[in-house]
Chain A
Amino acid sequence: MTTLTAKDKDAVRTFWAKVSGKEEDIGTDAVARMLAVYPQTKTYFAHWKDLSPSSPSARKHGVTVMKGVADAVSKIDDLKGGLLTLSELHAFTLRVDPANFKILSHCLLVVLSIMFPNDFTPEAHVALDKFLAAVALALAEKYR
């Protein structure tokens, strides 16, 4: 939607520093929630043996996704360039409908709200919401 201001980037980096070490838990919880709250997202994982939110496949996927988000934080100054390969992956191989990026972002924010109730202030929330929207945009870059 918009470009990230210096203030936004600072807020994201600051918050992310607090998150350090808990990335795996955040990722697995976010993906589990996504599968539970938005069952239509399960359509992308028909190849998993076990589609329940707590399955090993889901947990593993949460870790994978979170690595991507953490990577995006480090490349926050050039998301389009930095996430090029990931964008190609999502565009040509995974072909995830971009509407789902919003869904996962929302689940991520819910998890952050639960795990960091005092740090996830409205200011941190807006910066992270903008950041995740920018990541989603960068991921959709190669779609068409």
Chain B
Amino acid sequence: MTQYTLQAHRPSNRCLWEGRRVALKVASGAGDLQTCTGKPRDSKMVEWTDFERATIVDIFSKMQYEVVGPAALARCLVVYPWTQRYFGNFGNLYNAAAISGNPMVAKHGTTILHGLDRAVKNMDDIKATYAELSVLHSEKLHVDPDNFKLLSDCLTIVVAAQLGKDFTGEVQAAFQKFLAVVVSALGRQYH
């Protein structure tokens, strides 16, 4: 029985596609063909620790959607003004005060935040959960996926202000990991 060992072609043994350090092994005939992440093909890609799960559930159970959603979207439109390109019909976005007081911004901010609920409820398969929304953002809304990261940074900052000292480094890590997975899922159906 022959066994092949493929060395990744960079000295640091870095898999080009997944960006992780891997050694590729293919065992012939053994049926345990592995992807370049070294995991069996059907395994879930994201692993959550108990702490991470509990943290995400906790944050969202205490979330004041009508405060945080509007604040996060408004902040995004102020701090990264080019994001306003998607809201041409929202009326007055001329300055920070106008944006923060704009009712359409507020309503949409709340909608977006509630959109995260389904990820919270389906943390083990966020990819599939957002497949439809990803198509929507790509085909209908034509949103540059880079914007998802901008909004998630603003959301992190608003949630940090809400939670204060409770938003520890560990909590921040869990929250940002969660948002990163959502952002990745939302960008997946773009082509």
The total of chain B residues at the interface (CB under 8 A) is: 23
Supposing A114-B164, A129-B79 touch, asked if A33 and B157 sit within 8 A by C-beta, the answer is no
Taking chain A's interface residues, is the majority helix, strand, or loop, or is none over half, making it mixed?
helix
Which one of B78, B99, B160 contacts A114 once the chains associate, using CB atoms below 8 Å? B160
Q: Scoring A residues 11 to 35 as 1 if CB is less than 8 Å from chain B, else 0, what string do you get? A: 0000000000000000000001101
The total of chain A residues at the interface (CB under 8 A) is: 19
Which one of B74, B161, B169 contacts A36 once the chains associate, using CB atoms below 8 Å? B169
Q: Quick check: is B55 within 8 A (CB to CB) of the other chain?
A: no
A120 and B169 contacting across the interface, CB-CB below 8 Å: no
- Name the segment of B6-14, B111-119, B170-178 touching the other chain: B170-178
A120 and B161 contacting across the interface, CB-CB below 8 Å: yes
Could you list 6 further interchain pairs (A-B, Cβ under 8 angstroms) beyond the known A33-B172, A122-B96?
A: A33-B169, A37-B169, A120-B157, A122-B78, A125-B75, A126-B78
Residues of B at the A interface (CB closer than 8 Å) are 74-75, 78-79, 96, 99-100, 153, 156-158, 160-165, 167, 169-170, 172-173, 176
CB<8 Å pairs between A and B, sample of 10: A35-B169, A53-B169, A114-B161, A114-B163, A114-B164, A120-B157, A122-B74, A122-B78, A122-B79, A129-B79
